[in-house]
Amino acid sequence: MASDLITKYTTDLGYELQLQRGLFINNEFVSGSSQIEVVNPTNEKVILKVEAAGKEEVDAAVSAADKAYKEVWSKTTPSDRRDLMLRLADLIERDQEEIAQIETVDGGKPITFARNVDVKFLSECLRYFAGWADKLQGKVIEVAGVLTMTRHEPIGVCAAIVPWNFPSLLLMTKLGPALATGNTIVAKTSEITPLSALKIAALAKEAGFPPGVINIITGYGETTGELLSRHKTVRKITFTGSTRAGRLVMKAAAESNMKKVTLELGGKSPNIIFEDADIDKAVKWAYRGIYFHQGQVCTSGSRIYVQESIYDDFIKRFKEYIGYAPIGNPLEGSTIHGPQVSKTQYDRVMGYIEAGKQEGATVALGGERWGNEGYYIQPTVFTGVKEDMKIMKEEIFGPVVCVSKFKDRDEAIQLANNTEYGLAAAVFSQNLDTCLSVSDEIQSGIVWVNCINMFDTASPLGGYKESGFGREGGEYVLAEYTQVKAVKINRGVPV
């Protein structure tokens, strides 16, 4: 029974949570073929066990989505889709504190960020895409006696594979456009942080979405994710995660039914600070650029390039500013720096720190575990880094930054583009021409100017090179969830 799949949990600060742990298929929470432990990264204790989807459950979720698409959702008016999405946004706002608490307990994200970034974004995203539901328009093209009309039609059943770092926020960036354009969806959460997505599933049912329109399941990437990627009823898959895993999704999609693919993958983003930048602001933004969510962000500015004339001053101020950021229990409102999400991620990041030391880079700050409990790592700064070092070339996905010098604009651009990634970049200068010309030449999907890691629902995000293809967010993402049909009407052309 569904009631058996709810667990009561009290946080260490006394907040009472009702946690869903079942698979959400066809508007019901059901058991899976196995179970996965979910661990609180702050104290390393098991929160609960969630149900995991095997082949039978994946098939059931996809079948429910397919039936809902053919029998209900494809016949629902755009205005009705809009109204359901707005109702869900209202319910998310009603329960926003509970969702924020779940995010923090499950993933170690400081509660202030969970409230003001993640949860705030959920309702904004839904409302933004709800507004597009009745505004999808084609064109009329008249060519030599043949009137051509274009229609932007939904694809059908979409699958979404959501990463562990922003489990509700990135779910919504996929759910919003998929629903607005008339598709049904099966979303797979990360096995590490599934709980906020399952809470949203319960709210979707309460909002009145028809059975099968939204299905949310949990499982490991190599099993559940692989099954979704290869499922022949799924016609579109969107994946956010590592470049390595993205290759596997793309391969599976190609080998099954050539389903449409969107990949938002890894990054090794440069943050370029010119000598005429406002150095105090650049220091604060650089901190946000790398240490937001303990560096577990694909757009993290993990390579900081500072013009040599201000390098020493920047390093001094940067280290001082890092020292002011409180580390501790992420449920405390004052905490800025929490734990890594899991033991696996902790070990991975510590491995990179050790590699940096062995390769001869200088640990200017941090580089060690913090505390005796939880997966905490001190904010770490490497200097004396060479371009061919592992810590400079590979995505670490943790609170580790490499700071290097550059001489002039041309060298800054060359260094920034010296990577196989191309997701994001930042430029700091008070010279508008410098900002614009450097932005033009950086090979990345987004370039921030005098800021970093600033996101909104109306702007696109996506990568160049090995950071993937396709776009999430804004009007651009609608093309990822629709297909264009041309209808050609003969207006007198003879046989």
The residues assigned a catalytic role are 264
Could you tell me if 38 and 233 are in contact, meaning their C-beta atoms sit under 8 angstroms apart?
Answer: no
* Plot region of 236 (φ>0 → left; ψ -120 to 50 → alpha; else → beta): beta
The answer to whether 398 touches 365, Cβ cutoff 8 Å, is no
Among 234, 216, 193, residue whose Cα is nearest residue 53: 216
Determine contact, residues 359/351, Cβ cutoff 8 Å. Answer: no
Q: Which residues of 142-163 are buried (b: 16+ CB within 10 A; e: fewer)?
A: eeeeeeeeeebbbbbbbbbbbb
In angstroms, what is the C-alpha Rg of the chain? 23
Q: For residue 6, what are the contacts with CB-CB under 8 A and spacing of at least 6?
A: 18, 19, 20, 21, 29
Helix (H, G, I), strand (E, B) or coil at 222: helix
367 phi/psi in degrees, rounded to 5: 90, 10
Encoded tokens for 480: 């990822």
Nearest 5 degrees, angle CA 37-CA 38-CA 44?
105
Determine the Cα–Cα distance for residues 483 and 476; give it in Å rounded to an integer. Answer: 13
Rounded Cα distance between 340 and 294, Å, is 6
Q: What is the 3-state secondary structure (H, E, C) of 356-422?
A: HHHCCCEEEECCCECCCCCCCECCEEEECCCCCCHHHHCCCCCCEEEEEEECCHHHHHHHHCCCCCC
- The Cα 338–Cα 336 span in angstroms is 7
Q: Which residues of 257-275 are buried (b: 16+ CB within 10 A; e: fewer)?
A: eebbbbbbbbbbbbbbbbe
Dihedral sign, Cα of residue 341, residue 343, residue 347, residue 348: negative
Could you tell me which of 366, 390, 364 has the C-alpha nearest to residue 377?
Answer: 366
- How many Cβ atoms sit within 10 Å of the Cβ of residue 4? 10
